[in-house]
Chains A and B, each alone.
Chain A
Amino acid sequence: MELLQYTLDNLGLLGTRTLEHISLVGVAVGIATLTGVPIGIAITQNERVAKAVLYIASIIVTIPSVALFGVMIPILSLIGQGIGYLPAVIAVLLYSQLPIIRNTYTAIHNVDPALREAARGVGMSHRQRLRMVEIPLAVPVIMAGVRTAVVLNIGVMAIAAYIGAGGLGTFISRGISQSDPRQLIVGAVAVSLLAIIADYALLALQKHLTPKGMSVSTAAA
C-alpha cells in the first residue's frame, strides 16, 4: 500500500527516469546496430578475421559493467566527460556489439549456398546479392540480436546511475544509499517491466521486418 502510494506520488519522476533510460539504451543500441551490422557483414569475407572479431566482442561482454565504467572515468575525463551520459552510452554500445555482430555474421554466413549460387547465376553483383537476397533473409536473425542487446542492456544501464547517467537506476541507487526499500523496489520492478515490454515490442518489429515470403510457411499441394 505504501509502495503504491509512493509510486503514485512520484509518477512524474518515474516517467522522466523511464524516458531517460529508454533514450540511453535506444541511442546506444541504435549506434551499435549501425556499426555491428556492417561489421558482421564484412567479416563474412574472411573466416580468420571473423573469429578474431567475435572473440574480442565476447571478451568485452565478460567485463563487469562496474569495472568498465571505472576504466572509462579517467580516459573520458580527458575530454571532461568522465561520468554521465557518454560513458554509459559507450558501455552499452560495446556490450551490444557481440549479439549484433554475431547474429549478423551467422545469418549471412548461413544463407543457403543454393540461394547464393542462384543469385550469382542470374548475374547479381556482390552488392546486389547482399541487398536483394542475403540481407533480407538475414533480417529476422539480425533483429533477434538487437533484441538480445536491448534486453541485456536495459539491465546494464540501471548500474550506470552510479556514474550519474540517470535513468531508472537512480531509484535503485538511492533506495540503497537511503535504505529506502520503496525506491529500491519501484526501480527494480520498473527496469524489469521495461525489459519485458521492450522485448515484446521488438519482437513485433522483427515480425514486421521479416520478408513476407519467409513467414508464409504453409506449402500448397
Chain B
Amino acid sequence: MIRLDNLTKVFDTPDGAVIAADHISMEVPQGEICVLLGPSGCGKTTTLKMINRIVRATSGKVFLDGEDTSGLNTEDLRRNIGYVIQQIGLFPNMTIEENITVVPKLLGWDKNRYKVRARELMDMIAMDAEAFLKRYPSELSGGQQQRIGVARALAADPPVMLMDEPFGAIDPINRAVIQDEFLKMQAALKKTIMFVSHDIDEAIKMGDRIAIFREGKLVQYSEPDELLSAPKNAFVESFLGEDRALKRLNLVRVRDVVSDDIGTVDVTDTLATARERIDSHGYRDAILMVDDRRRPIGVISRDTTASQQGYCRDHTRGLPAVVHLDDDLRKVASLMFAHDTTWLPCVDDHGRLCGQITQRDMTHHLGSRYRSRRPARPVVDGDRPAGS
C-alpha cells in the first residue's frame, strides 16, 4: 500500500516559488496499479519521485504499507522500492546479469542467491538467460532493454514499484506487447505500483485507478470506468477527449455483454427450417449455421431462404467474424464496422458458440452508467455513449 499525505513540493526559481505538487493526498491499495496522468508540468512525475526521494518533498509524508518513510535512510528506502524510468538507465559498463542483480548486491545478498535470482528474473520476463545474461545493454534492442529495466526493479522483490513513463520510449507495437506482458506478471506478483503516463489509452489499459493531475493538484482519482463516465470537471473532460465514451469500450469484455439467446441452424437443416427460425427469432437478415460441435461456420441469409430450396450446407455465406469471450468491446465494435454488421457470434476457448453480441447490447451496457447519473448532471452532447 502507498499512502501520500499532503505531499507538497515547492521549487524556488528565479521567477519565484513554483508549486509543483500541492498537498497531494491519495492511497493506492495493496496490489493495484495507480496511473498518474496529466499534461506535462502537472506534477505527476514530481509526486512519483518524492516517494523515493529522487525529489525531496517540501512537506508532507509518504507511508508504505502503513509505515511512515520519513524515518528511513534514503538508500534503504530506495533499495526497497522498484524504480523504472523512461530512459531505462541500464548501466552500460555492466552486463545484463550485473545490471539486474545490482539491488540484491547492494542489499548484501550472497552470490549464489543473486545468481539464482537473475535466472528467475529472466524467466519472468521471458528472455533466455543463457543468451542474454553475459551480454551488455548496448547489444539489446530498446524493448529488450526495458524488459531488463523492469527485471532490475523487481530483483529484490520490493512490495512497491514506481514507474515513470516506463514504456514511453518504445515503439507502439512493442509497447503493446510489453504492456501485456507486464500486466500478466503483475497479475501474479501483485505489486503496489505507481505509474506515470501522459497517454490516456495506456492509463486505461494499465490502471486499476487513475489519478488526473493539473497544475500541481490532484483533480480526480477514480477507477477508469468511473473516470470516463463521470469526469469531475471540464478539464478532466477535455483531457480525456471527446471520444472518451469510445475509450470505455476497452474496459468491457465480451463476456460482460454477451447474450446466450441465439438461434442457429445445423448443416443438415433445410432452408425452410432456417426460414422458420429466422422468423421465430425475429432476425432481420440472416441466421447463424453451426457444425455438429456447435462451432459457427457460416450464415444463411433471409433472401436465400426465400428464393432457394434445399439444405443449409449448400447455401451458406461466409462468416463475417467471430469474437472471443475475453475480447474487449473496442475490438468488437471495430469488427462490426469492418464487416458492416450489427451482431457477431461469440465463441469460448474451444471455438464453440456461446452466444452473440449486438450493437444494441453494447450501447445498452455502456449507457446504463450514464442513465443512472443523468438526473444529477446536465446533459451535454459529449455525455452520450457513441453508437446510440
Binding site for B on A (CB under 8 A): 112, 114-115, 117-125, 128, 132-133, 136-137, 211-214, 216-221
In-complex Cβ contact of B85 among A118, A128, A213 (8 A): A118
Bound Cα distance from A119 to B139, whole angstroms = 20
Most buried by A among B89, B90, B95, B103: B89
Asked whether B141 lies within 8 Å of A120 as measured between CB atoms, the reply is no
Closest 8 CB pairs of A and B: A118-B89, A213-B136, A211-B93, A114-B87, A123-B79, A121-B83, A123-B78, A136-B93
The minimal Cβ–Cβ distance linking B145 to chain A, given in whole angstroms, is: 9
Which residue of chain A lies nearest to B103 when distances are taken between CB atoms in the complex? A122
Choose among B74, B92, B144 the residue that contacts A213 (Cβ–Cβ < 8 A): B92
Complex A-B: 17 CB contacts under 8 Å: A115-B89, A118-B85, A118-B88, A118-B91, A122-B78, A122-B106, A123-B103, A124-B75, A125-B75, A128-B106, A133-B91, A211-B94, A213-B94, A213-B95, A213-B138, A219-B140, A220-B140
A217 and B79 in contact (CB under 8 A), knowing A114-B89, A121-B52?
no
* A7–B93 CA distance with the chains assembled, in angstroms: 47
The contact of B79 among A115, A122, A136, A212, by CB within 8 Å, is A122
Distance between Cα atoms of A48 and B54 in the complex (Å) = 24
* Bound Cα distance from A4 to B194, whole angstroms: 77
B216 at the interface (CB under 8 A from A): no
Residues of B within 8 A of A216 (CB): 136, 138-139
Shortest CB-to-CB span from A162 to chain B, Å, is 45
Of residues B88, B90, B92, B106, which shows the largest number of chain A Cβ atoms within 10 Å of its Cβ? B92
B209 interfacial contact with A, CB 8 Å: no
**Given known contacts A213-B138, A218-B139, A220-B144, A137 and B92 CB-to-CB distance under 8 angstroms:** yes
| With A114-B89, A121-B52: A219-B106 Cβ-Cβ less than 8 Å | no
11 more contacts with CB within 8 A, not counting A213-B92, A214-B93, are A112-B89, A115-B89, A118-B88, A122-B152, A133-B91, A137-B92, A213-B138, A214-B138, A216-B136, A216-B139, A219-B139
Instruction: Give every chain A residue within 8 A of B345 (Cβ-Cβ).
Output: none
Number of A-B contacts (CB under 8 A): 90
**Interfacial residues, chain B to chain A (CB-CB below 8 A):** 52, 54, 74-80, 83, 85, 87-95, 102-103, 106, 136-141, 144, 152
Given A213-B95, A214-B93, A220-B139, also A121-B85 (CB < 8 A)? yes
Please give the distance in Å from B347's CB to the nearest CB on chain A.
Answer: 35
Complex alpha-carbon distance, A114 and B137, angstroms:
14
A125 to B: closest C-beta gap in Å:
5
Closest chain B residue to A139, Cβ basis: B93
Q: How far is the CB of A108 from chain B (nearest CB, A)?
A: 14
What residues of chain A lie closer than 8 Å to B139, measured between beta carbons? 216, 218-220
A132 engages B91 (CB within 8 Å): yes
Q: Which residues of A contact B102 (CB under 8 A)?
A: 122, 124, 132
User: How close is B137's CB to chain A, nearest CB, in angstroms?
Assistant: 6
Interface centre among A122, A217, A220, A221, by most chain B C-beta atoms within 10 angstroms, is A122
Asked whether, in the complex, the Cβ of A217 is within 8 Å of the Cβ of B138, the reply is yes
Taking the closest CB of chain B, its distance from the CB of A90, in whole angstroms, is 35
A73 to B84, CA, bound (A): 60
Let me know if B137 and A213 touch, CB within 8 A.
yes
Look across to chain B and name the residue whose beta carbon is closest to the beta carbon of A221. Answer: B141
Q: Which residues of B contact A218 (CB under 8 A)?
A: 138-139
- How many Å lie between the Cα of A125 and that of B78 in the bound state? 10
Residue on B nearest A214 in the bound complex, by CB: B92
Least CB distance, B106 to chain A, in whole angstroms? 6
Residue of A nearest to B131 (CB): A220
Contacts of A122 in B (CB 8 A): 78-79, 83, 102-103, 106, 152
Please tell me if the beta carbons of A120 and B93 are within 8 angstroms of each other in the complex.
no
Q: Is the CB of A137 within 8 A of B89?
A: no
Residues of chain A with a CB closer than 8 A to B76's CB:
123
- Which B residue's beta carbon lies closest to that of A133? B91
> Per a CB cutoff under 8 Å, which of B79, B85, B87, B141 touches A220?
B141
Name the CB-closest residue of A to B162.
A121
A61 to B237, CA, bound (A): 64
Known contacts A122-B106, A123-B106; is A133 also within 8 Å of B78 by CB? no
On whether the beta carbons of B54 and A120 are closer than 8 Å, the reply is: yes
- Tell me which residues across on chain A come within 8 A of B94, comparing CB atoms: 132, 211, 213
Report the minimum CB–CB distance from B126 to chain A (whole Å): 16
Q: Looking across the interface, which residue of chain A has its beta carbon closest to that of B137?
A: A213
- Distance between B168 CB and nearest chain A CB, rounded to angstroms: 12
Q: What distance in Å separates the Cβ of A221 from its nearest Cβ neighbour in chain B?
A: 6
Q: CA separation between A112 and B85, bound complex, in Å?
A: 13
Among A125, A128, A211, contact of B92 (Cβ-Cβ < 8 Å):
A211
For B144, what are the chain A residues with a Cβ–Cβ distance below 8 Å?
Answer: 220
A67 CA / B102 CA spacing, docked (Å): 52
Nearest B residue to A135 by beta-carbon distance?
A: B93
Min CB–CB distance A138 → chain B (angstroms): 10
Q: Which residues of B contact A132 (CB under 8 A)?
A: 91, 94, 102
- List chain A residues, Cβ under 8 A from B91: 115, 118-119, 132-133, 213
State whether A114 and B88 are in contact (beta carbons under 8 Å apart), knowing that A122-B106, A220-B141, A220-B144 are contacts in the complex.
yes
Of all chain A residues, the one with the shortest Cβ separation from B90 is: A118
Q: How far is the CA of A118 from the CA of B77 in the complex (A)?
A: 14
List B contacts of A220 (CB < 8 A): 139-141, 144
